Amino acid sequence: MIHSLFLINSSGDIFLEKHWKSVVSRSVCDYFFEAQERATEAENVPPVIPTPHHYLLSVYRHKIFFVAVIQTEVPPLFVIEFLHRVVDTFQDYFGVCSEPVIKDNVVVVYEVLEEMLDNGFPLATESNILKELIKPPTILRTVVNTITGSTNVGDQLPTGQLSVVPWRRTGVKYTNNEAYFDVIEEIDAIIDKSGSTITAEIQGVIDACVKLTGMPDLTLSFMNPRLLDDVSFHPCVRFKRWESERILSFIPPDGNFRLLSYHVSAQNLVAIPVYVKHNISFRDSSSLGRFEITVGPKQTMGKTIEGVTVASQMPRGVLNMSLTPSQGTHTFDPVTKMLSWDVGKINPQKLPSLKGTMSLQAGASKPDENPTINLQFKIQQLAISGLKVNRLDMYGEKYKPFKGIKYMTKAGKFQVRT
Amino acid sequence: MTVGKDVSALFPDVVNCMQTDNLELKKLVYLYLMNYAKSQPDMAIMAVNTFVKDCEDPNPLIRALAVRTMGCIRVDKITEYLCEPLRKCLKDEDPYVRKTAAVCVAKLHDINAQLVEDQGFLDTLKDLISDSNPMVVANAVAALSEIAESHPSSNLLDLNPQSINKLLTALNECTEWGQIFILDCLASYTPKDDREAQSICERVTPRLSHANSAVVLSAVKVLMKFMEMLSKDLDYYGTLLKKLAPPLVTLLSAEPELQYVALRNINLIVQKRPEILKHEMKVFFVKYNDPIYVKLEKLDIMIRLASQANIAQVLAELKEYATEVDVDFVRKAVRAIGRCAIKVEQSAERCVSTLLDLIQTKVNYVVQEAIVVIKDIFRKYPNKYESVIATLCENLDSLDEPEARAAMIWIVGEYAERIDNADELLESFLEGFHDESTQVQLQLLTAIVKLFLKKPTETQELVQQVLSLATQDSDNPDLRDRGYIYWRLLSTDPVAAKEVVLAEKPLISEETDLIEPTLLDELICYIGTLASVYHKPPSAFVEGGRGVVHKSLPPRTASSESTESPETAPAGAPPGEQLDVVPTQGDLLGDLLNLDLGPPVSGPPLATSAVQIGAVDLLGGGLDSLMGDEPEGIGAPNFVAPPAAAVPASLGAPMGSGLSDLFDLTSGVGTLSGSYVAPKAVWLPAMKAKGLEISGTFTRQAGSISMDLQLTNKALQVMTDFAIQFNRNSFGLAPAAPLQVHAPLSPTQTVEISLPLSTAGSVMKTEPLNNLQVAVKNNIDVFYFSTLYPLHILFVEDGKMDRQMFLATWKDIPNENEAQFQIRDCPLNAEAVSSRLQGSSIFTVARRNVEGQDMLYQSLRLTNGIWVLAELRIQPGNPSFTLSLKCRAPEVSQHVYQAYETILKN
C-alpha cells in the first residue's frame, strides 16, 4: 500500500512529506531526481521508477510532482488514481493547488491526507465526506474559530460514509432547487498534411451541478443513446437500468460531480469543425522561409467557432519570425521557438490568416522536422457527436426543481501536421 | 509538517494535551504521537491510558480514531496494550469502527505478526468477510491480502463459492478503492468449472464502466483470467471479447501517467488475445506532445497490431514519426518499419522503399538505424532486395555506431560476390580494427572470411591480415577463438569451410520480442500490478522473494462437451510461414553452430586429425579445389600455423591410463528383460533452453540400454534439426544412433524418442561417477545439461557368478574395499528381494540362514567388466537391511548401493 507521499516543486525541493506507515527517508527521492535530470522536460519523467527497496510512482500536475512511495506489489493505477484524487481534493479545498497555497494551509493539508489514507488504504476520498470531516478554510470561519475556539474538524461521523449511497449526505436543504447538466465534448484529432483526418475521436463528459433538497432520484434519458457505447459512470448510476433501458437513473451526489464520461471513436460520427490551410517552406538557398496559415470553419452546424488559438513549436533552426495576422495577436518566443496566435472568433466571410517570413540560421541546412500545429477552439451550444438529452425526471421528492442543460464542444488534442 | 525541525523535546507537554475535547487538537496530538513515539518509547506509554479510554468513547469517530492511531505507533510496549481495545473494536456495533479496526489488524501484523496470530485476530478478520456492511468487507479483504502477501503459505484467503458470492455482492456496493481490493482478490480464485467462471465474469463486467481506471484494469484482469476457462464456441465468449475493447481504449484518454500503465498492460493483452483490439489501431497513433514514455509504448503496440489490413496506415504514420525531433523515438520508429517488413510479408517492399527514402534524408541516426533493420530484412527475405545495397554503400562513411557498422559489414560480407569493391570496403574497416568494438571486430572477421571463400584469389592478403589481427594482436578470447576456428577450417578443409561459413542461414521470425507464452500467462494473472509494468514475474523483482506465489491461468475445464485444443501461440504467423524460423536476437553467426555438433554424431569426435595439423601440411589439396582453374602460381596461399599453445591437444585423445581396467568389454547375453525404469524427470527446463524442454529416463531392456526422451516445444517457433552428443563419461556411454526426430517440432508439441545407447564411447572418469553431460542441438541453439544415470542400467545379464568363484573372489578382494550400507524401510522378505533384484540383473549366488537372519550373497557385473559382490543381511520383521559390497573398484560401491535402493523401493 502507499507508504509515503512527497511533494516536490519544479526546482527539485521536497516541500512536504507525509508518511502513513514507518518513515521512509527523503533520500529515496534521489532516484526520482536522477530520472528527472535524465528527462529533458518535466512531463517526460517516467511515472514508475524502481529503486532498490521501493517504487516511486509520480504524477505531475500544477508544476508539482506528487511522488508516492510503495514497497510491495500494489496496482500502480490505484496509486496514480489516488494521487490525482489528492490533487483534485486540494484544488477543491483551496481553489488552486500550488506550492504557496499548500504551505499556507499545511495543517489542513495534513488533516486531509490523514483522513484520506489509513495505513495506505484509502479511507475517504469523496469530497462531500471529507468536507464534513474537515471543513475547508474560509476567512470567515478562521475569524469565528479564533473567537469561539471551535475548530475546522467536524466531530460527527459523516452520515453518508457507510450508507448505500456514500456519495450523498442526508438532510440536504435548499430554497432554490436546481439541477444543471453540462454536456462537454472534446475532439482529439490528428490531421495530416493534405487535410485528411488520420484519427479523430470525441471524449465527452456530462458534468452536473445538482442542488436538490432531500433524497431525489433522477432519471436522464437521451434522444440517441446508441451513441454511448463506451461509457464510464459515476458510482451513483444504476448500471442495470442503463444496460436494459439505456436510461441514466441515479441518486445524485450533492453539488458538483461528473455524472459520466464517454468516448466516441467511430470515424463517421466525428465531424471536424475547422480546417487549417498552411504553407510553410524552408528554402535551402536563402536564410528566409515563408510561413502562411489560414483557419476556416467546416461542419459547424451553423454555430460560430470561438476562442481559437493556434500554437506551433518551430524547428530549432528558426531564429525569428515576422508575421502579420489578419486578426488577433501573435507572439513568437525565440528561445523556446514557440509560436502562438490568439485568433478569437472565426468570421466565415473573412477568414483569419497569419502570413510572413521566418529568418533561419544562416548556413544551416533545412530543418528535418516539420512543425505541428496545435489548435484550440470552442463551440457553444453544440455537442459535435450529436448527443442530445431528451428529458430529466425526478422522483422521490415533491417539489419542482429548476432544470438546465448546456452543450459545448472544445478542441482536445487537436493537431495538424504540416 | 514541522518543516524538518525536531520537536521531540516537547513530548511530555504534547501528551498532556491529549485528553482534550477539541477534536482538531486531539487529531493533531495523535499526529504528533505517530511521528515521535518511536523516538521516545518510554514516554509513549503515558499515552496508552488515553487511548484505551478513547476506545470506549460514545462517539464512534473518536473510537475509530483511537484504534487507528494506536496501530500507527510502532512501539512494542504499546502494541501489547492495543490487543484488548482492538478486539472490542473489531466487534463494535458501528461499521465505521469495524472497518478501521480491520485495517488496524494489518498494521499490527506488520509490527508483530506472532502477536496477531496468537490473539486470534486473523480468524476475526476472516469473519469480517461475511460482514453486512460492504465497506467492512472491502477493508477486511484488503487487510487479509496484505497479510497474505507477507505470508504466502498461510492460505488466509481460502476462497470458496460461498465467500466468492459474498465478495461479489459487496463489490457492487463498496467504494471504488474497496472494489479494487475485492477484484484483486477475486482474480486469485480459480473457479471449479466454466459455468462458475462465466457467472463471475457476468457480475464483474459492469465494473468495466467505472470511472476509476484502477477498477477498470482490475476488472480486466479478472475477465482475462477467467476467460481462459470459457469455451471459445460460447456466445458469451464473443460478447466478452467485444466488451473488453472500449474500456481499454478509454483508458488511453486519461492522464499520461495512467496511459503509461494502461499501455504496458495492453501490450500484454494484445499478445495474449490480439483479437480484442485488432480494430483499434488508430487510438495508438502518437500525438506529438505525448510524453516520450507514452510514445514509445504506443509504437510497440502499433507494431503488434500491424497486419495486412492496416499496414498502409501504419507505415504512413511511422514515416511521419521518423521525421520528429526526439532521437530515441525516431530510432524506434525506424526500427518499427523494419519489424513491419518482417511481420507483414506483403508490405516488405513498401517498407524497404520507405527506409530508402529515410536514408536519403542523410540524418545520421536515421541512416544508421535504417541499415540495422535492412540487415534483418535481408535475413528474412534473402535475394530479394539486394538492389538497395548500392545505396547503402554510399553511406558507409557516416556510420559511427557499432551496431550499424556491424550490420553494414555483415551485408558486405554476405553479398560480397555482388559488390565489386567489397574487398576495398572491408579493407577500409580493417584499418582501425583495434579501435572497433568487439561486435564489429567479430563481424569483420566473419565477413572477410566469407569474402575470401567467395573470391579466394584477390583477397588472400586481406584474410591473412585479419586472421593475424584477430589471433595475435587481440586480447579478446572470443575474437581469438573465432579467428583460430576459421584459420583451422581454412587450412584443413576449405570445402568444409565453405559449407560451414556460407551455409544457408535459417530465416528469422517476425515476433522476436514476444514474451514467452509461459511467462505471458503468468503476467496475465498480474495485470494491473507492477509486474505488468515491468513485464517480469514478481519473483524477479519483489524483495527477498517474500510473498511470491506463482500464479497461473486456470486450465480450461469444460463441463459441456467442448474439448478444444489448448490455446496456440498468440499472434503467430500464418502456418505456412513458420518453417525454419529463428529469432534474430541470437548471434548472427548461427552458422558457426555446425562446428559444435554435426547432426549425426559418431564415436569419438574429431580427435587426432587436429593434432597432426599443427605440424606441417597446413594446406592440403583441398584449397586447390577452391581455386578451381586458377594458374598455380597465384593459388598458393601461404598460411602460417597458429601458435601451438592454442591447439587443443588433448581433444579426443582417450584417457587410456588410470581406468584402463574399466575397459574390458564383454557384451551381455540378453536373458532377462526389463530392469527397473525410473519415471521421467525434467532434465532441461524450457526456461534454460529457449523453449525446448527435455525430460527423460534410462532403461535397460534385453541387454540394450536406451535413453527415453521426451522433447516438448514450449517456444513460439518450430524446432528442427535435432542432434545429441554426450561428453566422455565413466562408462563410455554414447548414442548408438543419431537422434531421430522425424517431423519438425511445432509449438506446444511433444515427441517421445527412445535413443539407443552403446557403451563403446570414449571413457573419462567423471565426478560423480554416474554423471552424464549431454549437449542437444536444434535449429535455435545448442543446449547443455547434465544428468545422473542409475547404475543398474549397466548391470549385464550374465552377471551370475559361480559359487566357488564367488567365495574365492570375496576373499581375494582386500577388506578395505568393503563398504557397508543400510537400506531402510524396505518391507520385502528375502524371496521377494531376491527375485526383484534378479529382474535388474543382480543375481543371488547363495542364501544362508544365520541366527534367524537371511544372508543373501549376490553378484553383478557392469558393462565394463567390473564385478561387484554383495552380502545382504535381512532380519525378518526388521525393515532395515545391511548391505556389504566388495569390489575391486571401490568407487562404484556407493552407486551400486543407490541402485539397490531404487530397485528395492520402487
Q: Do B530 and A84 touch (CB under 8 A)?
A: no
The answer, for A151 touching chain B at a CB cutoff of 8 Å, is yes
- DSSP-derived letter for residue B455 is S
Closest chain A C-alpha to B900 CA, distance in angstroms: 49
Query: Residues of A19-32 as b/e, b for ≥16 C-beta within 10 angstroms?
Result: bbbeebeeebbebb
Question: The whole model's pTM is what?
Answer: 0.68
The answer for B 190-229 residues in CB contact with A (under 8 A) is: 206, 209-214, 216-218
B22/A151 CB distance under 8 A: yes
What single string gives the DSSP state of each residue in B382-396? TTTSGGGHHHHHHTG
The more confidently predicted of residues B396 and A415 is A415
- Interface check for A113 against chain B (CB to CB < 8 A): the answer is no
Interface probe, candidates B180, B257, B279, chain A, greatest A C-beta count within 10 A = B257
Q: What whole-number distance in Å separates Cα of residue B573 and Cα of residue A50? A: 35
β-pairing, A402-417 vs A178-191, is parallel
Contact B530 A265 (CB under 8 A): no
Q: Which three cell numbers stand for residue B736?
A: 548408438
B60 touches A: beta carbon within 8 Å: yes
- C-alpha distance from B528 to closest chain A C-alpha (Å): 5
Does B259 contact A at CB distance below 8 Å? Answer: no
B639 contact A CB<8A: no
What residue of A is the nearest CA neighbor of B109? A119
Min Cα separation B437/chain A (Å): 26
On chain A, the residues whose CB falls within 8 A of the CB of B541 are: 50
Each residue of B533-555: b (16+ CB within 10 Å) or e?
bbbbbbeeebeeeebbeebebbe
For residue B638, the model assigns a pLDDT of 45
CA gap B365, B357 in Å, rounded: 14
A232–B547: do the CB atoms touch at under 8 Å?
A: no
Chain B nearest C-alpha distance from A314 (Å): 11
Q: Which of A56-65, B15-24, B491-500, B647-656 has the lowest mean pLDDT?
A: B647-656
Q: Residues of A numbered 262-301 whose beta carbons fall under 8 angstroms of chain B's beta carbons: which are they?
A: 263, 265
Contact A7, A17 (CB under 8 A): yes
Q: Is A310:A343 a contact under the CB 8 Å cutoff?
A: yes
Distance (Å) from the alpha carbon of A350 to chain B's nearest alpha carbon: 30
Task: For residue B204, give the chain A residue with the closest CA.
Answer: A239
Residues 345-404 of chain A whose Cβ lies under 8 A from any Cβ of chain B: 368-370, 372, 374
Burial A100-115 (b: 16+ CB within 10 A, else e): ebbeebebbbbbbbbb
Mean pLDDT of all residues in B645-659: 40
User: pLDDT category, B386, cuts 50, 70, 90?
Assistant: confident
CB B180 within 8 A of CB B222: no
Phi-psi region of B631 (alpha: psi -120 to 50; beta: other; left: phi over 0): beta
Work out whether the CA dihedral B495, B497, B501, B506 comes out positive or negative.
positive
Per-residue pLDDT band at A377 (split at 50, 70, 90): very high
Q: Which secondary structure element, helix H or strand E, spans residue B869, and what is its range?
A: strand B867-874
> C-alpha angle with apex B130: B128 to B133, nearest 5 degrees?
80
Residue whose C-alpha is closest to residue B425's, from B401, B470, B390: B390
Backbone angles phi, psi at A69, to 5 degrees: -110, 125
| Nearest Cα to Cα of residue B128 among B87, B93, B148, B99 | B99
Instruction: Give the confidence band of A149 by pLDDT, cuts at 50, 70, 90.
Output: low
Q: How many CA atoms lie within 13 A of B430 on its CB side?
A: 22
Which position has the higher pLDDT, B499 or A65?
Answer: A65
Reported as a pLDDT band with limits 50, 70 and 90, residue A407 is: very high
Q: What angle, rounded to 10 degrees, do the helices at B256-272 and B213-227 form? A: 10
Q: Residue A161 pLDDT more than 70?
A: no
Q: Which of B100, B177, B261 sits opposite A76 (nearest CB)?
A: B261
The answer, yes or no, to whether residue B599 has pLDDT greater than 50, is: no
H-helix or E-strand spanning residue A244? helix A239-245
User: Which range has the top average pLDDT, A49-63, B536-550, B577-591?
Assistant: A49-63
Q: Per-residue pLDDT for B294 more than 60?
A: yes
Q: Check CB contact under 8 Å for A72 and B547.
A: yes
Q: Note whether A170 contacts B: Cβ–Cβ < 8 A.
A: no
Confirm or reject contact between A232 and chain B (CB < 8 A). yes
Would you place residue A364 in the very low, low, confident or very high pLDDT band (cuts 50, 70, 90)? low
| For range A181-202, the mean pLDDT | 88
Find the helix packing angle between B76-90 and B95-111, rounded to 10°. Answer: 150
- Cell 516520450 belongs to B292
- Residues whose CB is less than 8 angstroms from the CB of residue B293 and which lie 6 or more positions away in sequence, other chains included: A44, A46, A47, B256, B260
Contacts of A328 (CB under 8 A, 6+ apart): A341, A342, A343, A344, A352
Mean residue pLDDT across chain A: 85
Grid cell 464517454 in the structure block, residue = A262
Paired sense of beta strands A288-297 and A306-313, if any: unpaired
pLDDT of residue B281: 85
**Considering chain B, what is the average pLDDT of its residues?**
77
Per-residue pLDDT, averaged over A153-177, amounts to 69
CB B529 to CB A162 under 8 A?
A: no
Angle between helices B438-454 and B477-492 (to 10 degrees): 10
What class is the A178-270+382-416 domain?
Answer: mainly beta
CB spacing of B257 vs A188 below 8 angstroms: no
DSSP state letter for A391 = E
CA distance B723 to B812: 46
* Residue A299 CB coordination number (10 Å): 11
Average pLDDT on B385-407 reads: 82
The stretch A337-364 carries a mean pLDDT of 86
pLDDT at B212 over 60: yes
Q: How far A59 CA lies from chain B's nearest CA (Å)?
A: 6
> Cβ contact (<8 Å) for A263 and B28?
no
Top-confidence range, B360-364, B444-448, B624-628: B444-448
**Cell numbers 520507405: residue:** B354
Residue with cell 454511448: A228
Provide the total of helices (H) and of strands (E) in chain A, helices listed first. Answer: 7, 23
pLDDT for residue B559: 47
Chain A residues closer than 8 Å to B529 by CB: 73-76
Nearest CA of chain A to the CA of B676: how many Å?
48
Supply the pLDDT for residue B580.
40
- The 10s digit of each residue's pLDDT in B740-752 is 777 788 877 888 8
Interchain CB distance below 8 Å, B214 and A239: no
Looking at the domain A274-380, which fold is it? Immunoglobulin-like (2.60.40)
Are B320 and A417 within 8 A, CB to CB?
yes
Question: Using CB atoms and an 8 Å cut-off, which of residues 88-127 of chain B contact chain A?
Answer: 94-96, 100, 103-104, 106-107, 110
Q: Do B23 and A72 touch (CB under 8 A)?
A: no
| Pairing of the two strands A48-50 and A55-61 | antiparallel
Report the top-level CATH class of A2-148: alpha beta
pLDDT at B602 over 70: no
In angstroms, what separates the C-alpha of A86 from chain B's closest C-alpha?
14
Mean pLDDT of A207-213: 90
pLDDT category at B629 given cuts 50, 70, 90 is very low
Q: Answer yes or no: do A78 and B214 touch at CB < 8 A.
A: yes
B828-851 pLDDT per residue, tens: 788 888 888 888 888 888 888 877
pLDDT in tens, B762-820: 888 887 888 888 888 888 888 888 888 888 888 888 888 888 888 888 888 888 888 88
Q: Give the DSSP letter of residue B285.
A: P
Chain A residues in contact with B542 by the CB 8 A cut-off are 72-73
Is it the case that residue B624 has pLDDT exceeding 60? no
Predicted local confidence at residue B644, as pLDDT: 40
Report the half-sphere exposure of B230 (CA within 13 A, side-chain side): 24
Which of A152, A192, A413 comes nearest B287 by C-beta?
A: A413
**Residue B618: what pLDDT?**
40
Cis peptide before B477 (omega within 30 of 0): no
Same CATH fold assignment for domains A2-148 and A274-380: no
Q: What is the mean pLDDT of residues A196-218?
A: 89
Q: Looking at beta carbons, which residues of chain B come within 8 Å of A199?
A: 282-283, 285
A80 touches chain B (CB under 8 A): yes
User: Tens of pLDDT along B81-140?
Assistant: 778 888 888 888 888 888 888 888 888 888 888 888 888 888 888 888 888 888 888 888
| Per-residue pLDDT tens digits for B495-505 | 888 888 887 77
Q: Which of B204-213, B299-308, B593-602 has the lowest mean pLDDT?
A: B593-602
DSSP letters spanning B593-650 = HHHH--SS--SS-SHHHHHHHTTS--S-THHHHHHTT--TTTT---PPPPPGGGS-TT
Give B247→chain A minimum CA distance, Å.
Answer: 7
Report the C-alpha gap between B115 and B86 in whole angstroms.
Answer: 12
In Å, how far is B373's CA from the nearest CA of chain A?
21
Contact call for B542 and A73, based on CB within 8 A: yes
How many residue pairs bridge chain A and chain B with CB atoms within 8 Å of each other?
Answer: 210
Please state, in angstroms and rounded to a whole number, the distance separating the CA atoms of residues B713 and B217.
32
The pLDDT tens digits of the residues spanning B135-155 come to 888 888 888 888 877 776 566
Question: Which tens digit of pLDDT belongs to each residue from B714-729?
Answer: 877 788 888 888 888 8
Q: Inter-chain contact A153–B106, Cβ cutoff 8 Å?
A: no
Q: What's residue B831's pLDDT? A: 82
Percent of chain B exceeding pLDDT 90 equals: 2
Q: What is the per-residue DSSP string for B394-440?
A: HTGGG--SHHHHHHHHHHHHHTGGG-TTHHHHHHHHHTTGGGS-HHH
Look at A142-156, B158-172, B411-425, B779-793 and tell me which has the smallest mean pLDDT: A142-156
B655 inside 8 A of chain A by CB: no
Residues of B in contact with A156 (CB under 8 A): 59, 61
pLDDT on residue B556: 59
pLDDT digits (tens, 9 = 90+) for A74-100: 888 889 999 999 998 898 888 888 899
Mean pLDDT of the region B5-10: 72
Secondary structure (H, E, C), A336-360: CCEEEEEEECCECCECCEEEEEEEE
Arithmetic mean of pLDDT, B699-713: 84
Report how many helices (DSSP H) and strands (DSSP E) chain B contains, helices first: 35, 15
Q: Grid coordinates in use for B726?
A: 554426450
Nearest chain A residue to B205 by CA distance is A239
d(CA B551, CA B572): 24
Concatenating the DSSP letter of every residue in B169-181 gives HHHHHS-HHHHHH
Identify which of B32-46, B293-307, B627-641, B649-663 has the greatest average pLDDT: B293-307
C-alpha cell recorded at residue B146: 496484505
A20: closest CA among A39, A1, A33? A1
Q: Has residue B455 got a pLDDT over 60? A: yes
Cell 548472427 belongs to residue: B588
To the nearest whole angstrom, how far is the Cα of A42 from the nearest Cα of chain B? 9
Instruction: Determine the distance in angstroms separating the CA of B277 from the nearest CA of chain A, rounded to an integer.
Output: 13
**Dist CA B155 CA B151 (whole Å):** 8
Here the contacts of B886-892 (C-beta below 8 Å, separation 24 or greater) are B886/B809, B886/B810, B886/B813, B886/B817, B886/B818, B886/B819, B887/B813, B887/B817, B888/B661, B888/B813, B888/B817, B889/B661, B889/B662, B890/B816, B890/B817, B890/B819, B891/B769, B892/B769, B892/B791, B892/B862, B892/B866, B892/B868
Is residue A169 within 8 Å of residue B39, measured between CB atoms?
no
Domain ranges in chain A? 2-148, 178-270+382-416, 274-380
For residues A275 and A131, give the distance between their C-alpha atoms in angstroms, rounded to a whole number: 46
**Is residue A159 scored above 60 in pLDDT?**
no
Amino acid at B531: A
Amino acid, single-letter form, for residue B674:
G
- SS3 for B680-717, per residue? CEEEECHHHHCCEEEEEEEEEECCEEEEEEEEEECCCC
Nearest to B395 by CA among B422, B362, B366: B362
Q: With cut-offs at 50, 70 and 90, classify the pLDDT of residue B449.
A: confident
Q: Which residues of B touch A48 (CB under 8 A)?
A: 260-261, 530, 533
**Residue B673 in this model has a pLDDT that exceeds 50:** no
Are the Cβ atoms of A199 and B283 closer than 8 angstroms?
yes
Retrieve residue A141's grid coordinates: 470561519
- Over pLDDT 90: what percentage of chain A? 20
